[in-house]
Amino acid sequence: MIIVTGAAGFIGSCMVAKLNEMGREDLILVDDFSKEIKRRNWEGKRYVDKIHRNDFFQWAEQNVKNIDLIIHLGARTDTTEFDYSVFEELNVSYTQRMWIFAARHGIPLVYASSAATYGSGELGYRDEENLAYKLQPLNPYGKSKNEIDKWVLKQAAAPPCWYAFKFFNVYGPNEYHKGRMASVILHSFHQIKESGQVKLFRSHRPDYADGEQLRDFVYVKDVVRVIYWYVTHLPKSGIYNLGTGLARPFLTLATSTFKAMGLEPNIEFVDIPEDIRDKYQYFTQAEMKKMRGVGYKKPFYSLEDGVKSYVTRYLLKDSVY
């Protein structure tokens, strides 16, 4: 059986969909399933059972012989939350318990790290593992992800193979519940439907024009395809970037959203909120040599193609993956 945590969430539910597409239905979904807003993310999926995250380890000890793989995607992901204690339980302690369990029982493990570990990017975006000790994340979420990466690298006991993925700016279906933390594409889509206009953050730096702030936007279908490739090909264990390797402007993202909706662009620039202005990243771009070097050669969706797929296949049809 395959364990998928965060299975009611954005990337986790897409991972379940991908596994179903590949013929895997021997899945155990782990999450807090009490939030009705997320129900569409697991309804219609094929799996063996759902387990509340608080009950997982007790269940796992009783069923360890049946567990073939753990894909741990559950996490608190709010980058605007500045109380670090909020992240300690779900992002740090829970992942540590998952690692120890997988190592003790010889179970392969995937867990979600984040590009937020890179902070302002002053040290670059290279997924060199010794760099983890030098990184200065800009918020408690990024710090929690970097703390678990550093902890993992110090462990003498490890799962037989393990992969930590530093997700860059992931967008795509099944993120409808994320509120403020949803992708700019989803926010743009709703703004266009409501007002015919998109609001983007104005630049507060002289070296970037308005809307020309750059991000490595990666379509969630690429994310789950990469994870599936890793757990079926089993390359070298370690921490890997998961982006496209190509930074693109927010302006392109917005105009692509208008185009996918068959409309002419209408964009207004607004100030970045003061509570996040000094934490705002103007550039992220995954260094992808490490992943390419272990054999993953498939191309990634371009931003234009990813936005078109997301808007036309999911948002306009109000459907999930």
Backbone angles phi and psi of 61, in degrees to 5: -65, -30
Q: What contacts 91, CB < 8 A, 6 or more positions away?
A: 75, 76, 141, 144, 145, 148
Is 141 one of the catalytic residues? yes
For 38, the token pair is: 């997320």
Backbone angles phi and psi of 268, in degrees to 5: -120, 140
Is 178 one of the catalytic residues? yes
Nearest by Cα to 2 from 17, 21, 16: 16
C-alpha span between 172 and 184 (Å, rounded): 10
C-alpha span between 30 and 90 (Å, rounded): 13
3-state secondary structure (DSSP) of residue 61: helix
Q: Which residue out of 94, 111, 118, 141 is catalytically annotated?
A: 141
Residues in the chain: 321
Q: Which residue out of 150, 178, 199, 259 is catalytically annotated?
A: 178
Catalytic sites, residue numbers: 141, 178
